Chains A and B, each alone.
Chain A
């Protein structure tokens, strides 16, 4: 699954740690999601979308093979 968290973070001027604190996970988890190594749960994905005030599908996108 592709995501645009890094772009949105830059747009909102947030560090990985800032975002991690806002959604109550570790910075490592945010890093892994951005790198595509970890696919977040629906709850976490919704929390991230809420931080950026965007609909879920504007942050996460299905890829070929998903």
Chain B
């Protein structure tokens, strides 16, 4: 059965996993380098740089093909995107609640597009890996 090409998501080859893993230590090294070269560097931006790079890293990991991309893996991937989004909504809700309790307002400087993307991709990746682990675990 063919899927409408409009809904087809092309996946990266498995070799991209190595590139994705490189995105995890990279921002740490970058921040150390920047802080040496520019002592006036705003430390608030450190977290955003790290979130941005890690969001890309996890984004690549969730869009990389498995060795055998069969229907079970595809179903795990679909479920992971749905579950990841669901966890993100609850996570944001929790952050908003904590912010309200501590500072009396729902909004926080803590929120950024980088953080949300990082959390979303992390949750999707976690949900996918958890399903893979459960499928491999003996009964």
Q: Which residues of A contact B (CB under 8 A)?
A: 24-26, 28-29, 31-32, 35, 37-38, 40-41, 43-44
Q: Find B68's partner among A25, A35, A44 (CB 8 Å cutoff).
A: A25
Q: Which residues of B contact A (CB under 8 A)?
A: 1, 67-68, 70-73, 75, 134-136, 139
- Chain B residues within 8 Å of A29, by CB: 68, 70-73
- Chain B residues within 8 Å of A44, by CB: 71
- Extra A-B contacts (6), CB below 8 Å, given A26-B70, A28-B135, A32-B135: A25-B68, A26-B73, A29-B68, A29-B71, A37-B134, A37-B135
Q: Which residue of A lies closest to B75 (CB)?
A: A38
A-B contacts counted at CB < 8 A amount to 35
In angstroms, Cα B117 to Cα A26, docked, is: 31
Query: Can you name 19 A-B pairs with beta carbons within 8 Å?
Result: A24-B70, A25-B68, A25-B70, A25-B72, A26-B67, A26-B68, A26-B73, A28-B72, A28-B136, A29-B70, A29-B71, A31-B135, A37-B134, A37-B135, A38-B72, A40-B71, A40-B72, A43-B71, A44-B71
Shortest CB distance B106–A (Å): 40
Shortest CB distance B79–A (Å): 11
- Chain B residues within 8 Å of A38, by CB: 72, 75, 135
Provided the pairs A37-B134, A37-B135, A38-B135 are in contact, do residues A32 and B1 lie with their beta carbons within 8 angstroms? no
In angstroms, Cα B135 to Cα A14, docked, is: 21
In angstroms, Cα B68 to Cα A43, docked, is: 17
Q: Majority SS of interface residues in chain A?
A: loop
Q: Which residue of B lies closest to A36 (CB)?
A: B139
Q: Which residue of A lies closest to B76 (CB)?
A: A38
- Chain B residues within 8 Å of A31, by CB: 135
- Chain B residues within 8 Å of A25, by CB: 68, 70-72
Counting from the closest, the 4 A-B pairs by CB-CB distance are A26-B68, A25-B70, A29-B72, A32-B135
- Chain A residues within 8 Å of B139, by CB: 35, 37
